Structure 1
Amino acid sequence: MKKGLLYAIIASVLWAIVTPFIKQGLSYDFTPMNFAGIRFTLVGIILFAYTWHKGMWREIKQNSRLFLNLILINMFLGYTAFYIGVDFVSGAISSIIMGMTPLINVLLAHLIARNDKLNIYKTCSLLVSLIGLFLIIGMGSDGKPLDTKGIAGVVLLLLNIILQGYSAISVSEDKGKVNPIFLNAVQMFFGGLLIYIVGVSVEGFHPFIGKPAGFYISLGVLVFISVFAFSFWFMALQDAKSKVSDLNMCRLINPILGAVLSWIMLADEYPTFSTVTGMLIIVSSLIIYFKGETLVKRIKNKGTQT
C-alpha cells in the first residue's frame, strides 16, 4: 500500500467517529461555533507545543497564501458550515452526506488539480453517489422528506465539502513546503480562535466550565481526533506518489462507520430503509471507482502480454 493511502485511511477512520461526539457535545446546551472554536483552539495549542521551532513566524509569512487558505476557507468557513449543518440534521445523515466528500473532491480535482482528470469510472461513481444523496434528501431519516431546516443542513455540509476539497488540493499542490503537523497546528489554532471569537459575537458566550462529564468526554475525543486526523491527512496529501482523488476515495469509510456509530450512540436515531439504502448506494460508488480502473488495467496487461 502507498504510504499516502495508508495515512488517508487512518485519517478517514478517525473522522468517521466525529459526528456522534459533536451531536453529543452540542446536546449539553452548547452552540455550534462556540463548541467548534474551543475544540480547534485546544488542538492548535497542543500541536504548537509539539511543533514550536525557531523561525516558524518567518515560515508562516513565507507561506502566507497557503496558511490563509487553510485558516479562512478550510477552518473558518468550512467548519462553521459543518458544525451548523450537523446541528440541523441527524448524526446518521450527517455522516452519510460527508461520505460524498471523496466524490465531490474528485470533481474538484478534475477542475483544479494538475494531472488528476475525470475518467468514465470516476464519472459513474459521481452519478451513482448522487442517486444515494437524492434518496436521503427525499426520504429523510424517518421515511419523510427533509424539512427546510434539514435541507439547509445538507446544503451546509455540501458547502463544507467543497471548501475543504479546495483547500486539500492547495495543500497537495504545495507538496513538501511545510511540515504537515506544523501546518495543522497553525490552521487549528488561528482558525479555531477565529471561529470562537465570531461564535461569541453571533451566538453569545456559553460557559464551558462546570458542564457534565459527558461534555468533556465528547470534547476530549474530538480534540484527540483533530490532533491526529488532520496531521495524517496532510501527510497523505504531501505524499508525492498519491493523487488527491485517490486519497479522497478513502473517505467513503465515513458514511458506514459514522452512521452506525450514530445509531448506536444517539438515543433518538435508528436505521431506516432510506438511510441504509442511500448509504449503500454511495459506498457502492467506491467499488465502481477502484474496481473499474483495476479491471481495465488487467485487460490492458493481458493484451500487452499476448
Structure 2
Amino acid sequence: MPNSNSSLLSRPAAVLLLATFCCLLWGSAYPAIKHGYAMFGIARHDVASQMVFAGVRFVAAGLLLLLAACVMGWGVRIKRQDWTSVAGLGLSQTALQYIFFYIGVANATGTKSSIMNTTGTFFSVLLAHFIYHNDRLSGRRMLGCLVGFVGVAAANYGPTLLQPDFTWAGEGSVVLAAFILSAASIYGKKLSQRLNAAVMTGWQMAIGGAVLLMGGWLAGGHMADFTLPSAALMAYMALLSALAFSIWSALLKHNPVGRVTIFNFLIPVFGVTLSAIFLGEDVFALKNGVALVLVCVGIWLVTAEKRVTRPAPAVLEPARL
C-alpha cells in the first residue's frame, strides 16, 4: 500500500474499527455458507460441489480485489520472481485450507465451526515460537493456549468422555483448516512486506479459487442455477472475502501481530450470534457458552500485549482521542 496509509493503519482507532469489521465479516461467513449450500442444492457429503462453490466465491473475490487495485491506481503486476510465492500462498491459504473448511462447515453446526476455527490463533502462537526467535512462548501464552484448548474440548463434550460430540469430517476438518491457515498467514505476512497487500491477496485468491473450481468440476461437482437470492448471497460472500482478507493483510503489514490478532476473539462471538439469528441454532446450550468464554479468554491471554511504562517524551507516543 502507499506509504501515506502506513500511519493511518497503525492508529489504535483505525485498528479497532477495521479489525472488528473484518471479524464481523468472517463471523457472518458461517451462516452464509450454510444458506449457500441450501440455495445451490449442495449436499453435506458432496465435496466436489463444495469445491465448485468455494471456487466461484474466491475467483470472484480475487477479481474484485484486482479490479479495485486498478481503480486505485496501484497496478496489479507482480514481478516474475514473486509469482511462485504468490501461487504457493494461493494453493495453501485459499485452495487447500478451504477444501477442509467447507467440508467441515458442511458437517458441523455454524456455532461449533466458529468455535473450532479459533484454534488457528493458538496454532499461530505455537508455530511462531519455532519460527521467530523474538516470539517465544511465555508462561502467559502457554496458559492461554491451555485455556483455549479446554474451551474447544468443552464444545465437543458428548454424552460421555468416550463418546465426544466430534467427527473428523466436521469439527476435525475445521481444525485442520485453521492449522493450514495459521501456517500460510505467517508466510503471507512475510510476503506482504514487499508486495501490495490487496494485490497479493487478490492474486492468491484468484489462483486458489481457480484450482478449487477446476478440481471440483473435474470431480463431477455442480451447483444449481443462479437465482436472484443465491446470486446476491454469492456476491456478498465474494465481497466479504475480498474486504476482510485485504484489510487484515494490510493491518498485519503495518502493525505488530499481537495488536491485530487480539481481535480474533470476536470471530466466534459474531459467528455464534449470527448462527443463532440466521440458522436458529441452539447457542445457549451450557457447553457452547462455556466453550465460547474459555476460547475468548485463551485468545486474550496469548495475544494481549502488556503495557510498558516509558519515560519517553510525549511526542513519541501518538495522541489517542
Q: Which band: TM-score by shorter chain?
A: 0.7 to 0.9
Matches within 5 A, 1:125-204: 125-139=144-158, 145-146=164-165, 150-204=167-221
RMSD of aligned alpha carbons: 2.6
Deviation, structure 1 residue 207: 3.8
Equivalent position SS for 1:43: helix
Amino acid at match of 1:249: I
Q: Does residue 39 of structure 2 align to residue 24 of structure 1?
A: no
Deviation, structure 1 residue 132: 0.8
Aligned residues: percent identity?
24
Amino acid at match of 1:224: L
Deviation, structure 1 residue 137: 1.6
Amino acid at match of 1:129: G
Q: Does residue 217 of structure 2 align to residue 206 of structure 1?
A: no
Deviation, structure 1 residue 206: 2.3
1:43 to 58, 61, 66: 61
Alpha-carbon separation, structure 2, partners of 1:257 and 1:48:
28
Q: Does residue 240 of structure 2 align to residue 229 of structure 1?
A: no
Alpha-carbon separation, structure 2, partners of 1:55 and 1:219:
26
8 Å CA contact 2:120–2:178 kept in 1: the answer is: yes
Alpha-carbon separation, structure 1, partners of 2:273 and 2:16:
24
Deviation, structure 1 residue 22: 0.6
Instruction: Please name the residue that 1:254 is paired with.
Output: 267
8 Å CA contact 2:145–2:302 kept in 1: the answer is: no
Instruction: Please name the residue that 1:275 is paired with.
Output: 288
Instruction: Please name the residue that 1:288 is paired with.
Output: 301
Deviation, structure 1 residue 290: 5.5
Alpha-carbon separation, structure 1, partners of 2:239 and 2:75:
27
Deviation, structure 1 residue 252: 1.2
Alpha-carbon deviations, 1:84-127, whole Å to 9, x = none?
Answer: 11111001101111122222211122122352221111110000
Deviation, structure 1 residue 203: 4.2
Structure with the largest fraction of helix: 1
Q: Does residue 137 of structure 2 align to residue 122 of structure 1?
A: no
Instruction: Please name the residue that 2:104 is paired with.
Output: 85
Deviation, structure 1 residue 83: 0.8
8 Å CA contact 1:90–1:269 kept in 2: the answer is: no
Q: Does residue 85 of structure 2 align to residue 66 of structure 1?
A: yes
Alpha-carbon deviations, 1:270-302, whole Å to 9, x = none?
Answer: 4311111111111122343456834xx57x99x
Alpha-carbon separation, structure 2, partners of 1:90 and 1:284:
22
Deviation, structure 1 residue 226: 1.0
Q: Does residue 19 of structure 2 align to residue 8 of structure 1?
A: yes
Deviation, structure 1 residue 146: 2.1
TM-score, reference length from structure 1: 0.85
TM-score, reference length from structure 2: 0.81
Alpha-carbon separation, structure 2, partners of 1:111 and 1:153:
29
Structure 2: any 5+ residue segments left out of the alignment? 1-10, 43-48, 312-321
Stretch moving more, 155-164 or 260-269: 260-269
Deviation, structure 1 residue 201: 1.9
Instruction: Please name the residue that 2:256 is paired with.
Output: 242
8 Å CA contact 2:50–2:221 kept in 1: the answer is: no
8 Å CA contact 2:122–2:145 kept in 1: the answer is: yes
Deviation, structure 1 residue 68: 2.1
Structure 1: any 5+ residue segments left out of the alignment? 302-306
Stretch moving more, 90-99 or 196-205: 196-205
Alpha-carbon separation, structure 2, partners of 1:153 and 1:42:
26
Amino acid at match of 1:124: L
Alpha-carbon separation, structure 2, partners of 1:258 and 1:71:
25
Alpha-carbon separation, structure 2, partners of 1:225 and 1:164:
17
Alpha-carbon deviations, 1:36-94, whole Å to 9, x = none?
Answer: 1111111122222222479855x252212420221111011011111111111001101
Alpha-carbon deviations, 1:216-235, whole Å to 9, x = none?
Answer: 23212211211210110110
Amino acid at match of 1:183: M
8 Å CA contact 1:113–1:169 kept in 2: the answer is: no
2:52 to 20, 34, 42: 34
Deviation, structure 1 residue 139: 3.0
Alpha-carbon separation, structure 1, partners of 2:20 and 2:128:
19
Equivalent position SS for 1:139: coil
Q: Which runs of 4+ in 1 moved over 6 A?
A: none
Amino acid at match of 2:208: G
1:94 to 109, 113, 122: 113
8 Å CA contact 2:145–2:299 kept in 1: the answer is: no
Amino acid at match of 1:48: L
